[in-house]
């Protein structure tokens, strides 16, 4: 049996569906963020139903597919005008339609998504699969729509105004265009999942190569797939996708096979050099880039949350809520040969169930008012400030006015230093084990930003008791502090080779 989610999974990566059917044991536990997204998807689905008060839900989970399909036909024939989870079944294909609405000329399929807009590459074939099966069951489609969250909605703190919380976008023309291709695609997927071997992913179809396929990130089968990537694979050069694809298309997988005169950016060339020589590669600019840092230097990191549905009155869906920062401060240019450096640490964590933004920004302003450079890792921190300025958070414009003091430490690392052991990446999680092997996130209760977000969201939603919240705050402080300490270690490593 092939469901619409199986269909879209296989279109994304055929191997993923095959593995989930044939080797479910190698699947890792679903990440907390993905679980949270599922939970939110369910909440949003329930709210969406309220937009259609006359709707009836087909109890597919109680009845099973066959009985649910029969029940759907019965309700449609009986004159019901709106059905939720309307189920259609034929030739080993099954589709459950979020909202099926009767119109003058037939039925409209409405797909509900907890997103901010219609994302054609992701959503279109999902809806088209349903529409195709619906038509094959002998019904007339009058239209197809995508119902998503409207980010302009402002919650007043009372009952949800579902007419304004959602936007319904007309996507019939797009669906009609791709409808003819669906039966063949579905048949081919059904055929491939019945094969003894999984569909080829490394060879004929470079875009399925697990190492350059964007869906590998966060995939529950990544641990199964990525160890198969040889240690000298071009993946570890961190080349631009277009270059990787071209090399793979020409059958070049090993770094040793990369033509020496291949056009690369300076940072790619540095990484290539580090791999070929198996020694760290340093750019001549490193010295001058480090000399731009003014002391006191503040090394900062933020933790944020972007709840799909507003948590506080006056907020819109997906509003950015920064709730924590950590800052290590080097008061003067350090002499790294002295082991006991004087490095200060400050932090902020909003420990209340209220909007954290103003307290966040005011405490940050106080911390950085002493002047000097503000080092961040990648441009996320600046994006957060820009968004707060846009949302009118008092004080955010004052931090934005200090952007000329901001220096991206990751950019310095990317531009000026490469080590094959970074495996083509410059995230803190990849770099720290190389530059400071004794430091690790593995012993922490919170080990990454996703976990921090999910846990904090649960606290804001009132899902944690006092003791749990206290433990969470301690875990968050420890985690964020390690992030900025890791930046200190990276700065130290860069200074050592400059
Ligand atoms: S890790 Fe990548 S190649 Fe492997 S199943 Fe997942 S998406 Fe497919």
Tens of pLDDT, residues 450-489 = 889 999 999 998 899 999 999 999 999 999 999 999 999 9
CATH entry, 286-497, from 3.40.50.740, 3.30.420.10, 1.10.510.10, 3.40.50.1820: 3.30.420.10
State the DSSP string of 420-446: GGGTT--SHHHHHHHH-TT--STTSS-
Which pLDDT score, from 0 to 100, does residue 206 have?
37
Q: Could you identify the residue written with the tokens 């009132």?
A: 462
Averaged pLDDT, 174-178 = 98
The two structure tokens encoding residue 366:
């106080």
Of 30, 222, 226, 227, the residue with max ligand 1 atoms within 8 A of its CB, to mutate for a pocket test, comes to 222
Q: What is the pTM of this model?
A: 0.87
Please give the number of the atom of ligand 1 that sits closest to the Cα of 14: 8
Which pLDDT score, from 0 to 100, does residue 207 have?
39
pLDDT at 35 > cutoff 90: no
**Burial class of residue 351 in the structure, from the number of CB atoms within 10 Å of its CB (0-12 exposed, 13-18 middle, 19+ buried):** middle
Give the Cα separation of 309 and 37 in Å (integer). 12
Query: Which segments of 162-237 does DSSP mark as H helices, in order?
Result: 162-165, 172-178, 182-193, 222-225
Question: Residue 216 Cα, ligand 1 centroid: separation in angstroms?
Answer: 5
Question: Residue 441 Cα, ligand 1 centroid: separation in angstroms?
Answer: 25
Question: Residue 197 Cα, ligand 1 centroid: separation in angstroms?
Answer: 15
pLDDT > 70 in the chain, percent? 96
Pairing label, strands 93-103, 106-112 = antiparallel
Q: For atom 5 of ligand 1, which residue has the closest CA? A: 16
pLDDT at 212 > cutoff 60: no
pLDDT at 208 > cutoff 50: no
The two structure tokens encoding residue 469:
């919240």
pLDDT at 227 > cutoff 50: yes
Averaged pLDDT, 398-410 = 97
Question: Residue 220 Cα, ligand 1 centroid: separation in angstroms?
Answer: 8
Q: How confident is the model at residue 411 (pLDDT cuts 50, 70, 90)?
A: very high
pLDDT at 270 > cutoff 70: yes
Q: How confident is the model at residue 416 (pLDDT cuts 50, 70, 90)?
A: very high
Which pLDDT score, from 0 to 100, does residue 68 have?
97
Listed by start position, the domains of the chain span 2-193, 206-282, 286-497
Please give the number of the atom of ligand 1 that sits closest to the Cα of 219: 6
The SS3 assignment for 337 reads coil
Q: How confident is the model at residue 82 (pLDDT cuts 50, 70, 90)?
A: very high
Which pLDDT score, from 0 to 100, does residue 215 have?
74
Triad 7, 12, 15: Cα angle to 5°:
85
Which pLDDT score, from 0 to 100, does residue 213 have?
65
Which pLDDT score, from 0 to 100, does residue 204 have?
38
pLDDT at 279 > cutoff 70: yes
pLDDT > 90 in the chain, percent? 76
- Burial string for 100-110 (b: 16+ CB within 10 Å, else e) reads bbeeeeebbbb
Averaged pLDDT, 374-403 = 97
Ligand 1 pocket check for 20: Cβ under 6 Å: no
Identify the CA nearest to 45 among candidates 103, 112, 133, 91.
Answer: 112
What φ, ψ does residue 11 adopt, rounded to 5°? -65, -35
Give the Cα separation of 23 and 146 in Å (integer). 33
Average pLDDT over the chain, rounded to an integer: 92
CATH entry, 2-193, from 1.20.140, 3.90.320, 3.30.70, 3.40.50: 3.90.320
Q: For atom 7 of ligand 1, which residue has the closest CA? A: 216
Which pLDDT score, from 0 to 100, does residue 205 have?
40
pLDDT at 217 > cutoff 80: no
pLDDT at 229 > cutoff 90: no
């Amino acid at each position: 049996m092939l469901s619409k989610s199986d269909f879209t999974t296989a279109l994304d990566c055929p191997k993923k569906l095959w593995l989930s059917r044939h080797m479910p044991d190698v699947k890792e536990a679903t990440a907390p963020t993905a679980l949270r997204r599922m939970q939110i998807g369910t909440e949003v689905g329930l709210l969406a139903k309220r937009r259609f008060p006359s709707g009836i839900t087909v109890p597919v989970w109680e009845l099973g597919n066959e009985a649910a399909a029969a029940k759907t036909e019965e309700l449609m024939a009986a004159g019901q005008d709106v059905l939720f989870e309307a189920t259609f079944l034929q030739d080993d294909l099954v589709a459950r339609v979020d909202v099926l609405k009767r119109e003058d000329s037939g039925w409209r399929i409405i797909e509900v998504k907890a997103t901010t807009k219609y994302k054609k590459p992701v959503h279109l074939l999902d809806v088209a699969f349903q529409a195709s099966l619906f038509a094959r069951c002998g019904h007339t489609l009058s239209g197809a729509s995508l119902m998503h969250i409207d980010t302009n909605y402002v919650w007043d703190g009372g009952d949800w105004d579902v007419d304004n919380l959602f936007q319904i976008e007309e996507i019939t023309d797009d669906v009609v265009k791709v409808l003819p291709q669906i039966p063949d695609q579905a048949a081919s997927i059904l055929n491939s999942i019945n094969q003894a071997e999984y569909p080829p992913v490394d060879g004929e179809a470079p875009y399925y190569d697990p190492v350059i396929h964007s869906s590998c990130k966060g995939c529950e089968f990544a641990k199964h797939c990525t160890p198969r990537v040889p240690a000298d694979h071009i993946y570890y050069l961190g080349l631009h996708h277009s270059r990787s694809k071209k090399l793979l298309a020409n059958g070049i997988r090993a770094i040793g096979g990369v033509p020496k005169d291949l056009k690369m950016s300076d940072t790619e060339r540095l990484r290539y050099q580090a791999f070929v020589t198996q020694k760290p590669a340093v750019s001549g600019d490193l010295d001058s880039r480090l000399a731009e840092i003014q002391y006191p230097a503040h090394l900062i990191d933020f933790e944020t949350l972007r709840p799909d549905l507003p948590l506080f009155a006056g907020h819109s869906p997906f509003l950015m809520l920064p709730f924590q920062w950590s800052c290590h401060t080097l008061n003067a240019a350090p002499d790294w040969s002295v082991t006991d450096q004087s490095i200060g640490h400050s932090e902020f964590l909003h420990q209340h169930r209220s909007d954290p933004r103003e307290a966040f920004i005011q405490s940050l302003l106080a911390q950085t008012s002493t002047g000097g450079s503000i080092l961040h890792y990648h441009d996320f921190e600046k994006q957060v400030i820009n968004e707060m300025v846009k949302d009118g958070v008092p004080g955010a414009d004052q931090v934005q006015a200090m952007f000329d003091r901001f220096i991206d430490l990751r950019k310095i690392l990317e531009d000026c230093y490469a080590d094959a052991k970074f495996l083509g990446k410059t995230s803190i999680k990849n770099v720290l084990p190389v530059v400071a092997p004794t430091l690790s996130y593995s012993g922490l209760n919170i080990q990454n930003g996703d976990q921090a977000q999910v846990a904090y969201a649960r606290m804001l939603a009132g899902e944690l008791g006092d003791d749990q919240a206290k433990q969470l705050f301690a875990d968050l402080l420890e985690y964020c502090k390690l992030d900025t300490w890791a930046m200190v270690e990276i700065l130290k490593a860069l200074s050592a080779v400059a």
